[in-house]
């Protein structure tokens, strides 16, 4: 009996020793993100793929409900010493977190953890948004996008057109013709804070006009807003005239249908929205509807410039353990793989952030067939002009979300209260400049990286 017990105990001990390493707890890494709905599901799927690909780390991915909440919750958690290892921050919050100093720079992290990264592999228009003046990337581009024009080919065929408008003058004629042909919503649009990105910032980007001095804030915290002095003023006037003529219709949750939903249903024939919506529209479009995308129009005589990257990037926060940093680096190495870029672009509509990822998709024939054909135009839009020392790399303004809100307030006054366009935009710029001056005072004496 005693021998049998020893034999059993010995076997149990050996089994325990053999099982020990395999059963050891994985290093957990908290990743907070702001996406919701379908995109949140896709983020979780990517986290699951990483967790299944190795046995050392487990990334725990938690939606915070919005970009704003993700940033605010991260700041609050950091102050309490309970910050996640990785936090998603929207493009608009880039300068805020850059100046906080509460992060582990992306380039340094990967080098410290033993990963050789070709940082020049990132598209220049994406890299510059999240890099210092020396070109060192501070965060990892994640769900990157840029806006496109979506158009209903069936509706355009009824007005004798087989292509999307390349200029806003051509678009104006198309909207008029669509209205005359009986379409109630030639252009669906919104003027909320979240839509300023495509109707304001990106309009100025492709026209090569700054939203602010100091190269959109890249050259100093003392930048001033000047969106009220360029072609955007004329564009807002045109948009208001289309609205007054019933050729452009406001669509939002408040009206019962967003402009993206209205386009997918065939109720609006043209919209401007992110390439990130391409997948969702493909899944929800009215059966049999023929639609396509094109780059944003520009006014006649304009030399098109590259659009800006939107979406968000991933920041690694300070104050975590070496084991967590190793896990974060492993996660970033995983999502950078070309095969992962293919999966991510397939299920979301977001674009690959590296040349190698894009080349891999091209070789796979990704852009040759529906429902993915057309998404390559986002890459062409982001690279429409070369990056130079004088070109606009993006927008680096403190309090950008608040500034967008002031721009939206100006548009609300124009479209809802029939306020004067120039006066309303002047007022919006003045309110926005107050935000910039408060931000400058908060970081007085601090140099931009």
Looking at residue 220, what is its pLDDT?
A: 93
Token pair of 30 as six digits: 């908290």
Question: Where does 147-307+398-442 sit in CATH, by number?
Answer: 3.40.190.10
What is the rounded distance in angstroms from the CA atom of residue 349 to the CA atom of residue 338? Answer: 15
Q: What contacts 392, CB < 8 A, 6 or more positions away?
A: 205, 208, 210, 215, 216, 305, 308
What is the rounded distance in angstroms from the CA atom of residue 105 to the CA atom of residue 134? Answer: 13
Number of neighbours of residue 373 by Cβ within 10 angstroms: 14
- Which residues of the chain have a pLDDT value below 50? 1-23
Looking at residue 6, what is its pLDDT?
A: 38
Looking at residue 4, what is its pLDDT?
A: 39
- pLDDT tens digits, residue range 81-102? 999 999 999 988 899 889 988 9
- pLDDT tens digits, residue range 127-151? 888 988 888 999 999 999 999 999 9
User: pTM, whole model, 2 decimals?
Assistant: 0.89
CATH 3.40.190.10 corresponds to the domain 2-145+309-376: yes
Looking at residue 24, what is its pLDDT?
A: 59
Task: Match 């606009």 to its residue by tokens.
Answer: 392
Looking at residue 387, what is its pLDDT?
A: 75
Looking at residue 324, what is its pLDDT?
A: 97
**What Cα–Cα distance (Å) separates residue 426 from each residue in 2, 266, 433, 436?**
92, 36, 11, 15
Q: Where in the chain is the domain with CATH 3.40.190.10?
A: 2-145+309-376, 147-307+398-442
Looking at residue 318, what is its pLDDT?
A: 95
């Amino acid at each position: 009996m005693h021998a049998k017990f020893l034999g059993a105990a010995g076997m149990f001990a050996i089994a325990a020793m053999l099982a020990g390493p395999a059963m050891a707890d994985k290093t957990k890494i908290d990743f907070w993100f702001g996406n919701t709905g379908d995109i949140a599901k896709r983020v979780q799927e990517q986290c699951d793929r990483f967790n299944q690909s190795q046995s050392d780390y487990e990334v725990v991915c938690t939606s915070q409900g919005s970009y704003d909440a993700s940033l605010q919750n991260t700041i609050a958690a950091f102050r309490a010493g309970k910050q996640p290892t990785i936090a998603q921050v929207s493009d608009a919050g880039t300068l805020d977190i850059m100046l906080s100093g509460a992060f582990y720079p992306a380039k340094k992290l990967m080098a410290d953890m033993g990963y050789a990264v070709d940082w020049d592999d990132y598209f220049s228009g994406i890299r510059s948004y999240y890099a210092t003046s020396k070109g060192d990337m501070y965060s990892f581009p994640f769900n990157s996008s840029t806006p496109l024009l979506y158009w209903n080919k069936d509706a355009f065929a009824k007005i004798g057109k087989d292509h999307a408008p390349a200029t806003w003058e051509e678009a104006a004629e198309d909207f008029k013709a669509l209205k005359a042909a009986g379409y109630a919503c030639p252009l669906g649009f919104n003027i909320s804070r979240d839509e300023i990105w495509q109707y304001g910032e990106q309009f100025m980007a492709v026209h090569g006009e700054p939203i602010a001095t100091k190269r959109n804030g890249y050259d100093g915290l003392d930048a001033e807003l000047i969106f009220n002095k360029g072609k955007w003023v004329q564009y807002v006037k045109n948009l208001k005239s289309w609205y007054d003529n019933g050729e452009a219709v406001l669509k939002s949750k408040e009206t019962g249908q967003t402009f993206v939903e209205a386009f997918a249903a065939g109720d609006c024939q043209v919209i401007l929205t992110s390439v990130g919506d391409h997948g969702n529209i493909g899944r929800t479009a009215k059966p049999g509807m023929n639609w396509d995308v094109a780059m944003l129009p520009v006014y006649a005589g304009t030399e098109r410039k590259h659009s800006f990257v939107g979406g968000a990037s991933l920041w690694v926060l300070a104050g975590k353990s070496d084991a967590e940093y190793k896990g974060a680096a492993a996660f970033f190495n995983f999502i950078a793989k070309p095969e992962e870029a293919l999966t991510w672009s397939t299920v979301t509509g977001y674009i690959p952030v590296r040349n190698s990822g894009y080349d891999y998709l091209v070789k796979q024939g990704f852009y040759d067939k529906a429902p993915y054909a057309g998404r390559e135009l986002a890459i062409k839009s982001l690279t429409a002009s070369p990056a130079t020392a004088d070109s606009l790399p993006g927008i680096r303004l403190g309090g950008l979300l608040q500034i967008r809100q002031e721009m939206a307030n100006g548009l609300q006054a124009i479209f809802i209260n029939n306020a004067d366009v120039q006066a309303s935009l002047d007022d919006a710029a003045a309110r926005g400049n107050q935000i910039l001056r408060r931000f400058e005072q908060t970081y007085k004496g601090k140099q931009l990286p």
